[in-house]
Structure formats: structure tokens, C-alpha cells
Structure 1
């Protein structure tokens, strides 16, 4: 019998109801202190029918925290806010992992009290982020991290993972994608170090694996996932041989028996801005990684089912469809039309375009039933 999107699955320490997962998406609703609110808890609880919710990227350390309105998990207040979220999702029968990030070179100096952003090498990211006044501001050249700073970052991830689990979340996903700190260590376009953290693929993977090992030691392998985006060129990040880099890393992760590997890689013809014309690495990662693989990237229901049917993944993560369709699982299962999201409210703050998308009507109204 063919496995479907709606079949249950064992992921790490958990048995999940289906394979339609909610991808991590920054929504900028946690205010200047990065503390999730009741409204954030409502947002995630509305989507608790997902087999697994993976939260928006959550900062592990003040120096790696620079996205306006994004949450953190390095203070007691932030941890208490996340407890609201975890309790709300669990009350609806859902499971939720927290995505952990350190933004690395993609932090504006203004956001970290005038300090320079941290990175494996002093190479500025391309593009800009809005400053506190909403003005797009170019990235500055980051500070090359010392070995002591690298060790501090490893500890920050482990401490954040402990805080997340103590707050009631089911586990964590390490954000090793999209140009942020772990990804920047992996790729040779951003890592030009000449010490034990740079040069060879083995050395460039060292930071990732040290973080993984520290987090696993803190909360257990069955509560840990990792996300890669091997061909994503966001903020100008690149690698001369992404297949070699990421398959090596995937093989090392296989040895650690994690909950999953999550691969963000849109199809070449998807029209996504993340699709840069490079050959896809996901098929090679499928072969290299002996464990549960999640695919994400401009997939619809049919694409997701095809990926599972053909063994390219065990689960599929959907992003934007979950924004406008809190009941996405039920809509897919019943072949109902999807609501369209409003991109103007993706990062706008407030409830509009966040918790006001309605569920589909799954049952006929009583006045339409003939007895």
C-alpha cells in the first residue's frame, strides 16, 4: 500500500499523526524583547493539526539576534513566552519543535549595541535588512570569530535547546541554512579560515557537528533535527561544490541518529527566488542520510505526495500555504480550495494576516441538510 501524506509517522522520540509538517517561517510578532505573546500562541495552536510544527527561527544569543520582532530563547521571559506556545499547541494535540538560529553575519550593528556581527570570516553579506526605522541598511563586514567565540556559540545553542525543552517544546531544529551562522561555516564562499574550522569540508563541518553534539548531550538525539539549504544563494552565500559539502555533513549526521534532516531546496522550475539554477542536492542527501528526511520548497499537495510515494522524503514541510490555511491538513485531505495569503502582512506585526485566516467549512450547515 502506498504511504500517503496523511499516514502517521515516528519521528525521533514521537509518534506523529501525519506527514504534513509546518515549515519554519519568521513572522515578526514577538516585539522588541523577543518574547512570544498570547497571540503567537494562538497562531501556532490554530495550526496544531500539522504532523509537526517547526517554529520560526529563534535566537540563541543576543549577538546573533537581529531580525525585528523575531523571538529569542536566551532569557527567562522568552522561555516563559514559549511555554504559552507549547501549552497551547499540546492542548490541541499537536507537536512542536523550535528552530534555533544565530544570524551570524546577517545582523545589523545597530541591533547588537554597536558591536560587529560575528562570522567565520570577515566577508560581508550581500543585500540589506531594515533598521529600527524601517530603512533598508546594508550589512557591514563582520568580525571573524575567535575559537573562544566559537565555543561560546556552541554553548549558546546547547543552553537554548535546554530552555526550549524546559519550556515544553518537543524538540529543536538547528538552522543550518539560509546564510546564517552554521551555514556560513559550512560553505567555502563564506568560510575562508585557515584553522581547524576552515579549509577542508571536514573542518568547515566542525562547527555544525560540535553544535549538534552539544545539543544532543543536553536533550537527546530524538529531539534534534537539522535544516540545510544547499543551493540557496540568499545574502550572497555560495559554495564551490555544495553536493560534496552537504553530503559529507549529512553522512556525519546519520551517525548521530537524529530525529530528522530537513532540506530546503525549491525545484529548478519553481519560480522561487531561492532557486538559482544549480543542480539539486536533495537526491544526493537522500542517498547520504540514513534517517527521516523532510523536503521543503515550493511544493504543493501533489508534489509532496509524489516525494513520499517515490521515497524522496518521509515527510513534507509546507510554508506559505500554512499562513493562510491554519487547517491545511484538513483542506489537503478533503481536497478543499486553499485561501490565498496577503504578503503585505507577513512581517507587519499585529493580528491582521496572522491569526485571522479562517478554517474551511468541513461540514455542511444544518440548514442545508435534508432529513
Structure 2
């Protein structure tokens, strides 16, 4: 199986082409510190070629949902060091996904402070999960230029903190409606300065953050996750193909390791007037860096994707929640545990570290 072949990503050797995707699990404490359960959770899954952590807040200002981890205090960094040590002791490779939620947040869990975003536009058509239940989204504060510049620097500091905590690299979370994604989308960004108003300006924030990350920890340790047609968080782009083609072309000019490309069922119209509902082919073929294909893959479809030759690795989300030993199960074509949806976000050991291994 191609999925089980060894490969290289940046400056690390991977034992297979299987990646555990980043998944918010909501098990950190109120100070954003991960505990012993996280050590067990990630080390259980160290047989993956690569582990991507749950999204990690780069600052207190980046807070969106309750009980999510950070990497901006000494206590948080030390807690993550225990996780990375445990994973490395099992021969695993682990990368920190860096996160700023922007307008996907609520003052309830931000010490009464409104979130900030590219423009003062609230999210429509959905509610936010808070420590006090579901609440309507608030109108965020528009970021000033100094706040934008500081946030870019905050990403760089978070990357340095991640390497200090023992991570093998960092990934910019630029998908799923969070702050970098908000700058790309006209539904969240109606600025008229250098960070909005046209496609190059909308892409500027993402590109400047990537440059900051590369400068902070080195090109071999940096990647990005994008999801061109994913609309979570009221993300609507005037020109999906044009925006992401431009972004990819500019990313191609930078020296970094990989792009994790999240697919969806949406239809993408190309600038030439043709169309494709396969984002891996449409966008992945334009990417110079290593492509990691993400979202909804199983054993058969993942193998087929690798056979096409565009993606070099495949990341799995829900399958890894319930199957810590997923590579072994794929190798033996064994039955899979089904994930318990009621325990995906928040809680204790149940549905987190108690899924049985194949030999159990």
C-alpha cells in the first residue's frame, strides 16, 4: 500500500503517508494547559506518519472556544513539551497547528472582550458554542493596522514557542472560517486599505504570516492548511478559484514544506470557464510544495488519491478519533471502531483515550 510507504516531509522522515488531522477536542483546562490525557491521546496515535495537533491558540486574544489549548505561557509550553516527548519516545512526529479564531469567538469566554476580525461583520446563520451554551455571534471589532502587524508577530512567537516545546514543525490554520480565512473572504473582509478590497490585498495577511513563520523557525518546519470551498463560519468568496489560484501562486514563491488541502463537495469554476468538483486535482496540481489531501477519506479512497500522484500524504480526522492504531488496521484491512459523536468535544477519558486497540 502506498499509504504505508515511508516518505519525507521537510526535514523529517515519516514512517508512512498517513497523517492524523488537527481536531479540536476541548480537553484543556481553563488556563489553556493540556494534561496527562493529552499525553496519552497523542502518544497512542504515534504510529501515524505525522500527527497534527488540535488547533492551538497563539495568544489569549486568539481565544474562540472554551477549554482549547494555548502555547503562549510557560505553563502551556511545558505541558506541550511532555506531549512531544511522549510522542517522540514512541517514534512519532508531531506538528503544532497554530490558531487565531478571529470573529469565531464570543465575549463570554474572552473575559468580556469582543473578538476582533478584518471587518465588523458578524457570522450569520449559526451560533457559537460557549461555556454558557450556544449563543448568537457578536459583531467583532475591526482590526487596526497595528493590531494586524502585532498578530503577525504573535504567530511568529507562537511558532518559536512550539519549537521550544519540542514540536517538529508548525502549521498555519488558514481554513474553516478562522482569522486567516476571514481575510480571504469578502463576507468577512470589506476593508479598503492594503489588507482588503481586492484579491492580492485579501491574501496579504496569510502571506505575511507565512513569511513570519518561515523567518521564525525555518522553511522546513512550516506548512499551511487551506480549504478553498469550505464555508464554515459564514465564509463566502466572490471568486473562489481566482482567490486561491492567486494565493497558491504567491505561496509557491515562498520556501516552505507542505500545503494541507481540505476538499469539500462544492463546485469550483476555473478562470477558463471550465469546472471541477475535485479540489485536489484543481488546486493541488498548482501547488509546488508537498500536498496533503484532507477530508472524508477512507482506506480505499485514500489509496486511490495517492495513486493519482498529486497528494503525497493523506490526513484523516474522525477515523483517528476512534482508531489510535489506524495504520495497523489499514494494513490488515481490519474492522474500524466507530467514533462516539457525543464525546468529540469536551469531557474526560471516555471517547478520548479509551478506544480499544486492535490487539485488545
Question: Normalising by structure 2, what TM-score?
Answer: 0.95
1:55 to 53, 56, 72: 53
The answer for the alignment partner of 1:359 in structure 2 is 357
Unmatched segments (≥5 aa) in structure 2: 268-275
| Alpha-carbon distance, 1:267 to partner | 4.1
1:329 and 1:241 mapped to 2: Cα distance? Answer: 38
SS in 2 for 1:97: strand
What is the distance in 1 between the residues matched to 2:89 and 2:256? Answer: 26
1:222-371 matched pairs, under 5 angstroms: 222-267=220-265, 279-361=277-359
The alpha carbon displacement at 1:38 in A equals 1.2
1:60–1:102 Cα contact (<8 Å) kept: yes
- Give the conservation status (yes or no) of the 8 Å contact 1:243–1:281: no
- Tell me which of 9, 20, 30 is aligned to 2:28: 30
Aligned counterpart in structure 1 of residue 62 of structure 2, from 61, 64, 88: 64
User: How far apart are the structure 2 equivalents of 1:189 and 1:131?
Assistant: 23
Question: Do the aligned residues in 2 keep the contact of 1:176 with 1:228 (CA within 8 Å)?
Answer: yes
8 A Cα contact 2:64 2:102, kept in partner: no
Question: How far is the alpha carbon of 1:192 from its aligned partner?
Answer: 0.9
CA deviations 1:277-310 (Å, max 9, x no partner) are: x944332222221120001111111111111101
Q: Distance in 1 between matches of 2:215 and 2:290?
A: 20
Residue 132 of structure 1 pairs with residue 116 of structure 2: no
- Tell me the distance in 2 between the aligned counterparts of 1:280 and 1:67: 31
SS in structure 2 at match of 1:305: helix
Which residue, out of 70, 95, 115, partners 2:93?
95
> 2:272 maps to which residue?
none
Is the CA contact (8 Å cut-off) linking 1:242 and 1:281 kept in structure 2? no
Determine which of 155, 163, 166 is the counterpart of 1:165: 163
Residues 15 and 177 (structure 1 numbering): CA distance in 2 closer, same or farther, change over 3 Å? same
Q: How does 1:92-241 map to 2 (within 5 A)?
A: 92-126=90-124, 127-133=126-132, 135-241=133-239
Superposition RMSD on alpha carbons, in Å?
1.6
Q: What do residues 19-53 of structure 1 show as CA deviations (whole Å, max 9, x unaligned)? A: 01000000001121110111101100000000000
Partner of 2:271: none
Secondary structure of 1:295's aligned partner: strand
Deviation of 1:179 after TM superposition, in Å, equals 0.6
Q: Give runs of ≥4 in structure 1 deviating > 6 Å.
A: none
Contact 2:229 2:266 in 1 (8 A): no
TM-score by length of 1: 0.92
Offset of 1:227 from its aligned partner? Answer: 0.3
* CA drift at 1:268: 5.6
Q: CA deviation at 1:106?
A: 0.6
What is the distance in 2 between the residues matched to 1:257 and 1:353? Answer: 39
**2:174–2:181 CA contact under 8 A, matched in 1:** yes
